[in-house]
Structure 1
């Protein structure tokens, strides 16, 4: 019977085939020649390839385990070296991706948990701070997690988050200011109250004045004041206006006119917010009035003690800005070459950098500023003269009076805040001392437990035996 020759490996091809080797007692080997099909083993994205292997029987002791391992690695490398390297790189990439995913999820949970705790602190009036604008990093997926977490809380917290908490959200995967909590100061609230009150008196004066036409009275009657109005835009941004004046039409979502008060915010951020509202409003928000007191805020610590001083009254700088969107004859927003809304800007300096009041300065808004352009077109009010002639005039005396009242309110809040801070510091000190006293008492109690007898018992059989001898 003829014997079939095993497939020649490179090593065998270099030597002549010896038939006597098969019948030699010393060469009693079980030769298992594995064919070359690639056997992929997948685990977590990993692929291993089985190379040609020659497995000796247990009686073969001519090679050590180390030598066979080296030979196997050599063969494996010679056959699938580049491919193994590629698959190992892929495996490392996939594992790194899984690790990064876990880290991102952990970071997301931490960001949401920290924000929830901070909101609870504000809700419980335990937060003591001077910032009106508090930014927090919150990526889009974080925001979804936050909303889910809020829905799982009690009704009191849900109501506070959706109706009591003032916040803005700008969806972005960059930066650290996606979620902004707004903490209005006493100055801020005072200015909002005075502006709202002035607008209400003006509106009622139009309605009750026989010199104005029915169309003007109709338009004035539909103006609604909404302080801190929450606006959700198609870009998934959530913004708020300090004093918003909407028009009573269900199909108009955004207010035509908004007042923004800048106390602790800078002038640049005030202008950025105004342009952001105009762009997001897409023609519905037509006029933004910015009352800029940021330069007074920057010197507030130096002038605070002089507030209400009859001998030497003190004010800081105060400028008002008005941004008006340009519309065409069809009531559509006009854009420039880059696609941005075309805006007209006016400045009104009521107090200069030295605190000197400009008593001749005044800010004027017309009834047209409060009416959406589409309503004007739909009602054919383009020729209604009163829409332009009926003016809301905010002169220097009026606005400086609001300014002085707001400064007084802010001073009182600061004094109350200092008292609250001092109470918190005292309470914190007391808690720290109580905690230290408890720890000291627990340590002394634990020390008393370790008596000599206890030490002997802990020592084991030998010490107990020695004790018995004594």
Structure 2
């Protein structure tokens, strides 16, 4: 993509052994700018083939070498180059190992989300230089990684690979499943598909002379959801929009939709540029729905529209609508605000000439409809997050219940036959019981915190899902029951006596830094 091209230079430092030679004639190498056969750039040494910038090893005063010192310099340069190559190889191997581990965890559902990252909960960023990305593809093609390759290329695994991402971002970005994205994209897709169907049926065609061609075009456009947008070699970049539409005669998507939820809205114009300019106008229109403010706790939402425009021998992104607010600071739909698209937005510029005259039927999606889409998506998102939290509590509750049962069994087995009916056990055994009780206390505390979060989340939406509501009530009851059982175990522990029948409660509690009071 033209806007992303960055000239690169390679600084080399001659070995000190060559410093006594006079510099007579520099060694020159030529390279051509991409896409410009007539342009010649004179450089001291050729550019690195994969586009990566090597480490800066010296200043410009170190660059010249004489013909007589060429062999000596080559030895030093070759040694330095070999070390740099080995260093890159180690770096790439380490990066690929981490990426493969992350992909495996995502596939198996064991990946633990790291909170507070730049992409929030739903974007996992990994460093992976271009040479490392090529190594990753080689690793995935090995027989032992066949299932992983199928998952990456044919499964629901979504990722972007951008060699030169935004400053602060990393090249390999995994899109974690998000109920909000799926629901919002699904609603937009349904609305557009219904509109296209009405055009294909002739219901929205008003010009009889163009009706047949208009119906034919609309009938050939279909939703492709999160279809990957790949770039040609040598870039190897790829991006995955949240929603896309493609004409039956096109390989690439003609219109794509991006929903900025956990990702900052500042990335939307950048992604639009890469879609349009990177695919040389094959993508006609990019729509960006920015709801990042809501993700961060606000209420505002905006949309933008970018289109491809031919500028000389290049394609560039033009802004048709820039961050138009459709939900205000109170989260209410803005009056007289509409997202406007038309049939031409689904046809790349170069393909337009292949069709006969057709009617450019428009679709207006008012802010009230976008607001309904948002409410539906947000409710789905909240219920999904709550359900995930409840399931986590249920699993932890089962483990905690098992530990409590062990404590209750030990207390019962060790109970003495004296009139007081106390349990008697040795110091080591009692210490183990005490440690387990502390683990249970911590676990119940974590469950209570999770359920507080769940209760707060579900309080943000009305018309809750009946199944999730029922599970929430069951989880709350389970945590309460565990608290009661824990209180009984504590009371029983306070009655424990040593093997000789004397109380050792105060000594044990002191060893654990606990108060002797209940």
Instruction: Tell me the TM-score normalised to structure 2 length.
Output: 0.56
Deviations 1:44-79 (A, max 9, x none): x9x9xxxxxxxxxxxxxxxxxxxxxxxxxxxxxxxx
Q: Which segments of 5 or more consecutive residues in structure 2 lack a partner in the other structure?
A: 1-14, 18-69, 114-119, 206-210, 402-427, 433-518
Deviations 1:194-216 (A, max 9, x none): 11111221111112235621111
Q: Secondary structure, in 3 states, of the residue corresponding to 1:203?
A: helix
Q: Secondary structure, in 3 states, of the residue corresponding to 2:226?
A: strand
Deviations 1:217-256 (A, max 9, x none): 001001011111111112421112211101111xx33222
Q: CA deviation at 1:272?
A: 1.0
2:231 alignment counterpart: 233
Q: Secondary structure, in 3 states, of the residue corresponding to 2:332?
A: coil
Q: Do the aligned partners of residues 291 and 103 (structure 1) sit closer, same or farther apart at CA in structure 2, a change above 3 Å counting?
A: same
Instruction: Tell me the TM-score normalised to structure 1 length.
Output: 0.61
Tell me if structure 2 keeps the 8 A contact 1:325–1:344: no
Q: CA deviation at 1:91?
A: 6.9
Q: Among residues 287, 294, 318, which one is paired with 1:343 in the alignment? A: 318
Q: Among residues 105, 108, 114, which one is paired with 2:98 in the alignment? A: 114
Deviations 1:275-327 (A, max 9, x none): 21111121211111111101111116xxxxxxxxxxxxxxx11111111233x
Q: Among residues 323, 328, 342, which one is paired with 2:306 in the alignment? A: 323
1:295 alignment counterpart: 293
Q: Among residues 121, 125, 132, which one is paired with 1:131 in the alignment? A: 121
1:245 alignment counterpart: 245
2:152 alignment counterpart: 161
Q: Secondary structure, in 3 states, of the residue corresponding to 2:192?
A: helix
Structure-to-structure mapping, 1:349-364, within 5 angstroms: 349-364=325-340
Q: CA deviation at 1:373?
A: 2.2
Q: CA deviation at 1:353?
A: 2.4
2:386 alignment counterpart: 415
Q: CA deviation at 1:378?
A: 2.0
Q: Secondary structure, in 3 states, of the residue corresponding to 2:283?
A: coil
Q: Distance in 2 between matches of 1:216 and 1:229?
A: 25
Tell me if structure 2 keeps the 8 A contact 1:293–1:318: yes
Matched, 1:277 2:275: yes
Q: Distance in 1 between matches of 2:153 and 2:139?
A: 13
Q: CA deviation at 1:184?
A: 3.5
Matched, 1:204 2:205: no
Structure-to-structure mapping, 1:69-468, within 5 angstroms: 97-129=81-113, 131-152=121-142, 153-164=144-155, 165-172=157-164, 177-209=170-202, 212=205, 213-234=211-232, 235-249=235-249, 252-299=250-297, 316-326=299-309, 333-334=310-311, 341=316, 343-347=318-322, 348-381=324-357, 384=358, 386-387=359-360, 390-420=361-391, 422=393
Q: Distance in 2 between matches of 1:342 and 1:399?
A: 25
Q: Distance in 2 between matches of 1:263 and 1:242?
A: 11
Q: Do the aligned partners of residues 335 and 241 (structure 1) sit closer, same or farther apart at CA in structure 2, a change above 3 Å counting?
A: farther
Q: Distance in 2 between matches of 1:112 and 1:429?
A: 38
Q: Distance in 1 between matches of 2:82 and 2:396?
A: 45
Q: Distance in 1 between matches of 2:385 and 2:204?
A: 47
Tell me if structure 2 keeps the 8 A contact 1:135–1:181: yes
Q: CA deviation at 1:423?
A: 6.6
Q: Distance in 2 between matches of 1:413 and 1:287?
A: 31
Q: Do the aligned partners of residues 283 and 428 (structure 1) sit closer, same or farther apart at CA in structure 2, a change above 3 Å counting?
A: farther
Q: CA deviation at 1:145?
A: 1.2
Q: Distance in 2 between matches of 1:380 and 1:357?
A: 39
Q: Distance in 1 between matches of 2:71 and 2:238?
A: 46
Q: Distance in 2 between matches of 1:392 and 1:335?
A: 31
Q: Distance in 1 between matches of 2:261 and 2:213?
A: 37
Report the aligned-residue RMSD. Answer: 3.5
Q: CA deviation at 1:427?
A: 9.7
| Higher alpha-carbon deviation: 273-282 or 346-355 | 346-355
Q: CA deviation at 1:97?
A: 4.7
Number of residues paired by the alignment? 322
Q: CA deviation at 1:172?
A: 4.6
Q: Which segments of 5 or more consecutive residues in structure 1 lack a partner in the other structure?
A: 1-44, 48-85, 301-315, 327-332, 431-436, 442-470
Tell me if structure 2 keeps the 8 A contact 1:335–1:341: no
Q: Distance in 1 between matches of 2:138 and 2:395?
A: 33
Q: CA deviation at 1:162?
A: 0.7
Q: CA deviation at 1:374?
A: 2.3
Q: CA deviation at 1:267?
A: 1.4
Q: Distance in 1 between matches of 2:395 and 2:104?
A: 17
Q: Distance in 2 between matches of 1:426 and 1:128?
A: 19
Q: CA deviation at 1:90?
A: 8.0
Tell me if structure 1 keeps the 8 A contact 2:227–2:244: yes
